[in-house]
With several copies, the nearest count.
Chain A
């Protein structure tokens, strides 16, 4: 069990009023807040160790390099990856997926090859493949959903075939909350001789996670959704995969030798980290991982299941309110998207904001899913380690108010 009261003490931002009410931050699927341990790591870095890394001989450069590489090891441990050198730091999950589309896709795919995704994907796991399709003439195929918002496994099975080269799917939907059966999907994918990319942007921050158990070949996620700073994403590749890929961005730190006639590349992961990295934020991301590990991920998951159950019960009791996605809180993450009759989600979000309640309204970068659900937008509340039951009361109150306004 999480000691939420103690945890809240670590998050300075939570202790403020917004529009005359205590802030209730329920927009965690967009980005989470940061504990003082993470903020302090940034301050400490800039106040004591800041230097450019890898090529520097002086003391600050040594310290910065060590701390930066330390986070790589922490990330590897956190996701159960055997080799820290298979961790590449990017700007965000989006860039991690684009990196695979370019450095793996451009090099390995030919016209007629197929990439399979689903209609519950975030735009970050759709558009890179559409752009690749334009560049290489590959075919992009879309798995559909069951009526209760799960991946339609029969449909998916039907799409994966001899032409499939990559299956790229979200682990946990940022709209429906759905947790996909990734190990089973990995099995189907590998049986077809294809690779499996897992978009872990919503799952790695919220679940006990092990890349081995997922069966993924590539994994992408973002620091800012797991208590860490903005500006850091992670790409992990199964042993040997990244090594076989050519470079993506060119520049400092990713080369072995540069000559006019051509250049040779540094080893993985440096080959994929061109130019000065986001050193400070990578180091502070290490503090975020320490923080999550100190809470333990099973406890985080348990806490979020409890909040999600409560939220679903309370919201479903409101007449005219519909929740999207699976009914079973164990089959989903702490993300609850809903509709309220006659209240447009933007109005819902504005009225919630007038109560100090931060929820998100819109297409959530999932327009294919919105079209499937037949709505232009949804309202979404999403949870993190510092949320508590009382905050769901505040949300319910805001929804009741919105219903009144638009009655």
Chain B
């Protein structure tokens, strides 16, 4: 990692996910729809998901926001699609620890590791967290409707 927090922020991987987001767009057949907005800046994330027998069969997102909020969502769906909901929870905990407490990224985060630099700019942490808070709602819904 470089000494300049700004170099760490806009890493290649983040820009790539921002410019070409994975799993982008609604999934009309998905039983779960959740959304969230960051009242401070107006960023918005919607997530459609299909959790079947504890597995995130399908997940898609859309919304409006900065490179951090959108790439975080893209990386998140990329990392979690096809994975068990329980694993999603673990990853969520790990990402939050990394962003909020500046904990080092574990090597099971994949691309999400690129968000490590965000922790150094507290004002942007909420951007990166938004999709995870929305996911949290989605997982809760999945658990209660299962």
Assess A/B contact in the complex (Cβ within 8 A): yes
- Could you tell me if B6 and A19 are in contact, using CB atoms closer than 8 angstroms? yes
Pick the contact of A362: B4, B42, B68, B121 (CB < 8 A).
B42
- Whole-angstrom CA separation of A377 from B43 in the bound complex: 9
Q: Is A107 close to B, CB under 8 A?
A: no
Q: Is the CB of B67 within 8 A of A376?
A: no
> Are B66 and A55 closer than 8 Å at their CB atoms?
no
Q: Is the CB of A377 within 8 A of B42?
A: yes
- 0/1 interface trace, chain B 6-20, chain A, CB 8 Å (1 if under): 100110000100110
B37 at the interface (CB under 8 A from A): yes
Tell me, rounded to whole Å, the shortest Cβ–Cβ distance linking A369 to chain B.
12
The CA of A256 and the CA of B37, in the complex, are separated in Å by 8
Q: Is B40 an interface residue (CB 8 A)?
A: yes
A266 touches B39 (CB 8 A): yes
Q: Which of A62, A376, A406 contacts B15 (CB 8 A)?
A: A406
Among A77-85, A332-340, A343-351, the stretch that binds chain B is: A343-351
Q: Which one of B6, B15, B19, B124 contacts A346 once the chains associate, using CB atoms below 8 Å? A: B124
Please determine whether A406 and B64 come into contact, CB atoms closer than 8 angstroms: no
A61 at the interface (CB under 8 A from B): yes
Residue from A257, A347, A405 in contact with B39 in the complex, judged by beta carbons closer than 8 Å: A257
| Min distance, Cβ B137 to any Cβ of chain A, angstroms | 16
| CB pair B6 A350 closer than 8 Å | yes
A344-B65, A346-B68, A406-B67 given as contacts; is B39 within 8 A of A354 (CB)? no
Contact A344 B123 (CB under 8 A): no
B122 within 8 A of A: yes
Check B64 against A376 for contact (C-beta < 8 Å): yes
Shortest Cβ gap from B44 to chain A (Å): 7
Residues on A with beta carbons closer than 8 Å to the beta carbon of B66: 344-347
**A406–B15 CA distance with the chains assembled, in angstroms:** 7
Q: Tell me whether A370 and B42 are in contact in the complex, defined as CB-CB below 8 angstroms, given that A61-B123, A350-B124, A405-B10 are known contacts.
A: yes
- Determine the distance from Cα of A346 to Cα of B9 in the docked complex, in whole angstroms: 12
Say yes or no for B127: interface residue by CB 8 A criterion. yes
Cα–Cα distance between A308 and B111 once the two chains are bound (Å): 43
Docked CA distance A354–B7 (Å): 9
A367 interface contact, C-beta 8 A: yes
Contact partners of A5 in chain B: CB under 8 A: none
CA distance A362 to B43 in the complex (A): 9
Interface residues on chain A, size class = 20 to 34
Name the distance in Å between A250's Cβ and chain B's nearest Cβ: 15
CB of B9 within 8 A of CB of A350, answer yes
B37 contact set on A, CB distance < 8 A: 256-257
B39 CB, min distance to chain A CBs, angstroms:
4
Which residues of B sit under 8 angstroms from A353, Cβ to Cβ?
Answer: 6
Which residue of chain B has the shortest Cβ distance to A370 in the bound complex?
B42
Docked CA distance A152–B46 (Å): 35
A66 within 8 A of B: yes
Give B45-66 as 1s and 0s: 1 = Cβ < 8 Å from A's Cβ atoms. Answer: 0000000000000000000111
A54 interfacial by beta-carbon distance below 8 Å: yes
Residues A363 and B122 in contact, CB atoms below 8 Å apart: no
**Nearest Cβ distance between residue B129 and chain A, in whole angstroms?**
14
Q: How far is the CB of A317 from chain B (nearest CB, A)?
A: 25
User: Does B41 make an interface contact (CB < 8 A)?
Assistant: yes
Q: Is A12 an interface residue (CB 8 A)?
A: no
Q: A56-B123, A347-B66 are in contact. Are A363 and B42 (CB under 8 A)?
A: yes
**From residue A277, how far is it (CB to closest CB) to chain B in Å?**
15
Which of chain B's residues has its CB closest to A362's CB? B41
- A54 engages B40 (CB within 8 Å): yes
**A54 CA / B124 CA spacing, docked (Å):** 12
Q: Provided the pairs A62-B123, A346-B68, A346-B127 are in contact, do residues A376 and B42 lie with their beta carbons within 8 angstroms? A: yes
The interface residues of chain A lying within 8 Å CB-to-CB of B121 are: 62, 350
Q: Which residues of A contact B123 (CB under 8 A)?
A: 56-57, 61-62, 65
B17 to A: closest C-beta gap in Å? 13
Residue pair A376, B65 in contact (C-beta under 8 Å): yes
A55 to B43, CA, bound (A): 12
A321 at the interface (CB under 8 A from B): no
Asked if A255 is an interface residue, CB under 8 A from chain B, the answer is: yes
B residues within 8 A CB of A65?
Answer: 123
Q: Quote the shortest CB–CB distance from A394 to chain B (angstroms).
A: 15
Residues of A within 8 A of B (CB): 19, 54-57, 61-62, 65-66, 255-257, 266, 344-347, 350-351, 353-354, 361-363, 367, 370, 376-377, 405-406
| 5 examples of A-B residue contacts, CB within 8 angstroms | A55-B40, A62-B123, A256-B39, A350-B9, A406-B67
Ranked nearest first, the 9 interchain pairs of A and B with the lowest CB-CB distance are A346-B66, A354-B6, A344-B66, A256-B39, A376-B64, A376-B42, A62-B123, A363-B42, A347-B67
14 new A-B contacts, CB < 8 A, other than A346-B124, A376-B65, are: A57-B123, A57-B124, A65-B123, A257-B39, A347-B10, A350-B6, A362-B41, A363-B42, A370-B42, A376-B44, A376-B64, A405-B10, A406-B15, A406-B18
